[in-house]
Amino acid sequence: NKGFVLPCALDFDVIIAARPRADETFVMLSLSQDNAGETSFPVDNIEQSGPRWAQYIKGVAWALGQAGYDVRGMDLVIEGDVPISSGLSSSAALEVAAATAMAHAAGLKIPGPELALICQRAENEFVGVNSGIMDQFISAVGQEGHALFLDCNDLSHQHVPFDVEPDGLRLVVMNTCYKRSLKDSIYNDRVKECATAVEQLAKPIPGIKHLREVSWEQFLEYRDTLDEVPRKRAAHVISENQRVLDAVKAMASGDWMALGCLMDASHDSLQTDYEATGPHLDAMVEEARRIPGTIGSRMTGAGFGGCAVALVREDAVEQFTEQVSARYRERMNLEPGMYVVKAAAGAGIV
């Protein structure tokens, strides 16, 4: 939709140990508990085969070659603690880490925004997931203690201070531990539904190409010209763009209560208009909101499972993690994950 987003990188890691090879082969060993295994592929014949985790690295090598860069054979050992299929962008983290390692080994100086676009192309065209640019961009250019305000239309961006600890708050990630596959989910359907909304709105508003070009006032004026499903998708996207702009102001001024209200409104819109939450995420957010020390909470990632995030008073974090976990476990018969996190830096060479 080419709109506004406001992600931050978290203090989870994907670590890749890499060394060049004398031949034109990639040999990859994953030590991840969820995706352990070894595989290899030739640089001059990159095929969409092998384990799922390897597809992302293959895609990056392919996309680097498509961008005109020299891709050389390498040995890669991959380890990480980013929860898989959780909405915390584990695929983007793997892609950007791999691209950073490949570029460094080849002596290439690729700017972060360009590296992010290469990784997005890998995910879109090689892996087959119609993701936006946000996950790869924050993984490539994130700064410690900051969120990133990104305009997905022209990739202009601004680092926004996001250090809540001095004000007695903590950021808590809540993993529903309900797995979903993006490629096989209705995520790609949402992309098509937003495109349909643009087509229908282009009749009364000629020339628009993306929903970010439609103001809330225009949407209210012409919403009755839309079919029901595209109308709901557009309502979320257009209102969410304004919430992002408001969240940047709230962060800049340290108005965490305002930010919490925006988080709550965002989740409600994702639930009712974008229909991207599902029972597990909704249960987690409902239980988070029952804790008096919760400032705001919402789902994160593509939805349909995965994680939610909450802004919580420091003196309530222990109660929050214990009670939300217990109540979610009772409701959904799943053991959730709870992580107290902070805004961290993006990819780099160690």
Q: What is the pLDDT of residue 137?
A: 98
**Residue after which a domain boundary falls, among 98, 124, 158:** 158
- Tell me how crowded residue 130 is: count the other CB atoms within 10 A of its CB: 15
- CA–CA gap between residue 277 and residue 194 (Å, rounded): 17
- CA–CA gap between residue 243 and residue 340 (Å, rounded): 24
Q: Which residues are catalytic?
A: 135
- CA–CA gap between residue 295 and residue 170 (Å, rounded): 10
- CA–CA gap between residue 98 and residue 96 (Å, rounded): 5
Q: What is the pLDDT of residue 34?
A: 66
| Same-domain pairing of 210 and 106 | no
| Same-domain pairing of 108 and 201 | no
| Same-domain pairing of 19 and 144 | yes
Q: Is 81 a member of any domain? A: yes
| Same-domain pairing of 154 and 169 | no
Q: What is the pLDDT of residue 129?
A: 84
Contact 161, 248 (CB under 8 A): no
In angstroms, the first-to-last Cα distance of the chain is: 35
Contact 205, 222 (CB under 8 A): yes
| Same-domain pairing of 128 and 22 | yes
| Same-domain pairing of 291 and 216 | yes
**What pTM value is reported for the model?**
0.92
Q: Is 349 a member of any domain? A: no
Low-confidence ranges of the chain (pLDDT < 70): 33-35, 180-185
Contact 339, 317 (CB under 8 A): no
Q: Residue-wise over 288-309: b if at least 16 C-beta within 10 A, else e?
A: beebebbbbbbbbbbbbbbbbb
Contact 93, 80 (CB under 8 A): yes
Q: What is the pLDDT of residue 185?
A: 64
- CA–CA gap between residue 313 and residue 254 (Å, rounded): 14
Q: Is 254 a member of any domain? A: yes
Task: Give the total number of structural domains in the chain.
Answer: 2
275: containing domain: 163-344
Q: What is the pLDDT of residue 87?
A: 77
| Same-domain pairing of 175 and 84 | no
| Same-domain pairing of 137 and 191 | no
User: By CB neighbour count within 10 A (0-12 exposed, 13-18 middle, 19+ buried), where does 255 fall?
Assistant: middle
**Residue after which a domain boundary falls, among 117, 141, 158:** 158
| Same-domain pairing of 47 and 80 | yes
Q: At what angle do helices 134-141 and 90-105 cross, to 10 degrees?
A: 50
